[in-house]
Structure 1
Amino acid sequence: MSTSRSSARASAAVVGASWMIFAGAAFAITNSAMQYLTMTQGLSSTSATFWQYLISLIAMVPVIWRIGFAGLRTKQLGLHVFRVVLAALGVQFWVAGLANGVPIWQAIALLMTSPFFVTIGAAAFLGEKASGQRWLATVVGFVGGMIILSPWDDTFQLVAFLPIVAALLWGSSILCMKKLEENDSPQSVTLYLLLLLTPINLALALLAPSGLALPVGMNMWWLVVLAGLLGAIAQGSLAMAYQRVDAAYLQPFDHLKLPLNVLCGFLVFGWVPPGNLWLGAALIIGASLYIVHVERKST
């Protein structure tokens, strides 16, 4: 019996890791498509983001139907809206960074600093106590981010901070999610995100100077559709992964998104990352894995 249970756990772990790697590959292709649309084809980042997430919303209708609108019952409507606004702004800053020529490899590596913002925010706003080990890992992670940014380099541009802002906003969104899930179900949190993200992106697009620009030409449309569908598929793959095994086990597989994005950046744009990326990324990944290890020991 114990052998059967061990075999089932091992099988679930392999399936969960496979879904996580698949999600990382889908996100990497999505990032390349969005960067090509905005940086090369000139589609505004706000417009590209709106169309991408509208298509993702349409693709996620079966998920919304399965959750059911009973999931909208909440006593924390304001916090739900605030959390989705933070997530939407994070998406906007992320795509703006890609549109302004921040290489995918640099953007995704800087985005991986998001857990360190969560550590700071949880201590400052949720009253969570972080150990000295976790604070040390957070400092090491930010040092890795600074090495990747290299603000002392002559080629440094301020747009390189856009993925950092995205990481800060997404980290803040995660803090709101943790607070929401004290009273609301994860399904409720997911439903509000799916339903509110597109209208908020629409409002941001309409407020932008470029307005709600339409993709011109079939080449741009099929890339937008591809980005939207793959984004939805990636989100579904993440859900499938977390359904099978715990987040701590999946964390190392999540970090494979870095080499996957490096590969896409090379294939699509011919970008070859410098050595400081790998040094900085090693510090970020090592620090985040250490935080997972510390959390696992404390539970």
Structure 2
Amino acid sequence: MSQVSSSHNAPVLGALFMLGAGITFAITNILTPIITWQMGVPSTAVVFWQYVIATVIALPLIFRIGLGALKTRHPGWHEARAFLSALGVQFFAFGFASGVPVWQMVALSMTGPFFIITGATLFLGEKLTMRRLGATSVGFLGALMVTQIGSEQFTLASLLPILAAACWGTVSVITKYLSRDETPESLTLYMLVLITPNHFLIGLLLGIAVAVLPAGMLPASLATGFDFVLPGGDALWLIVLLGAVTAGAQYFFSLAYRVADATYLQPFDDLKLPLNTLLGWIVLSQVPALWFWPGALLILGASTFILWSETEKRQTLSVA
């Protein structure tokens, strides 16, 4: 969901809502590997039904915004934004299905701000300062440490959350571009309405790839294509729970950004890293590797520095 600063300012309430979003986000990151990695349900199917259920539950939010907010001069950019967001979710879920641990997935997904800086510099004409360049370099150094590249523990699947972060970072750049003449309600509504059809589209494209590409070119967990049929048994109920929790996260994010400013909320959003690491440790017995700790600190530190630097710049411009 788009992160748009609010005209209201209820910091304590906003922090609580963001904490609720972090907890629900952590629950989804525990349920997804259980359903995909442990139960063997294809990640593409899990994500599709997850967002079908979440969209149905989010219908009151959609109607509260009002379908009139769909009026736009940029339908193509809205579709690109929704497709990349869905693709990022697919990369993220496939990472879990490939056995990448929760602590690694979440830490590497937090490289998003560095892709946002790159995209804003290349496509929006924003200036690349030494602060931005330095913070981005430090953040990616931390990411390399978390992936354990160069060690026996490194796998190509470890790059999947970085691909997800690149998709989501690009989404943020497009959102920044659209926000020049699109309302926050329009940005939010288009994402809610288009995200599920784009998961369906990705599934169809995967099916075409399976039919066209030679055997062995796709990973085994994707080589079966995309089955649109809901699984049964315990997997079904866990997917229903996953969809409900995903909808809960959408509501929490919406409420948080309605009552407090995005810059104030960012540190509370960063709490998702310790929350996910702790929950993955307790529920899935996934103990973080030694290099995770300094790498995660570098990612968090660089992200926090970017937030501070950008906030300071905006305050200076407003005073001037």
TM superposition score normalised by structure 2 = 0.88
CA displacement at 1:165 relative to structure 2:
0.3
For 1:253, the equivalent position in structure 2 comes to 268
For 2:182, the equivalent position in structure 1 comes to 184
CA distances 1:52-108 after superposition (whole Å, capped 9, x unpaired): 000000011001101111111111011111111111110110100010001011000
Unaligned runs of 5+ in 2: 1-7, 207-223, 315-320
Give runs of aligned pairs for residues 1-299 of structure 1, distance below 5 A: 12-208=10-206, 209-299=224-314
Structure 1 Cα separation of the partners of residues 246 and 178 of structure 2? 24
Letter in 2 for 1:99: A
CA displacement at 1:35 relative to structure 2:
1.1
SS of corresponding position for 2:291? helix
Structure 1 Cα separation of the partners of residues 167 and 300 of structure 2? 20
- Alignment RMSD (CA, Å): 1.3
Query: Which protein has the bigger helix share?
Result: 1
CA distances 1:172-219 after superposition (whole Å, capped 9, x unpaired): 011111111111111111111111111111122234343224343331
Letter in 2 for 1:231: T
Unaligned runs of 5+ in 1: 1-7
CA distances 1:202-261 after superposition (whole Å, capped 9, x unpaired): 122234343224343331111111111111111111121112221222111111101111
Answer whether contact 1:206 1:212 (CA < 8 A) is retained. Answer: no
CA displacement at 1:274 relative to structure 2:
1.7
Structure 1 Cα separation of the partners of residues 128 and 304 of structure 2? 15
CA displacement at 1:129 relative to structure 2:
1.3
Structure 2 Cα separation of the partners of residues 79 and 24 of structure 1? 28
Q: How many residue pairs were aligned?
A: 290
Answer whether contact 1:60 1:232 (CA < 8 A) is retained. Answer: yes
Letter in 1 for 2:12: V
Structure 2 Cα separation of the partners of residues 40 and 261 of structure 1? 18
Answer whether contact 1:105 1:262 (CA < 8 A) is retained. Answer: yes
Answer whether contact 1:43 1:215 (CA < 8 A) is retained. Answer: no
CA displacement at 1:287 relative to structure 2:
0.7
Letter in 2 for 1:210: G
User: Once structures 1 and 2 are overlaid, which stretch shifts more, 47-56 or 260-269?
Assistant: 260-269
Structure 1 Cα separation of the partners of residues 38 and 175 of structure 2? 35
Structure 2 Cα separation of the partners of residues 268 and 186 of structure 1? 37
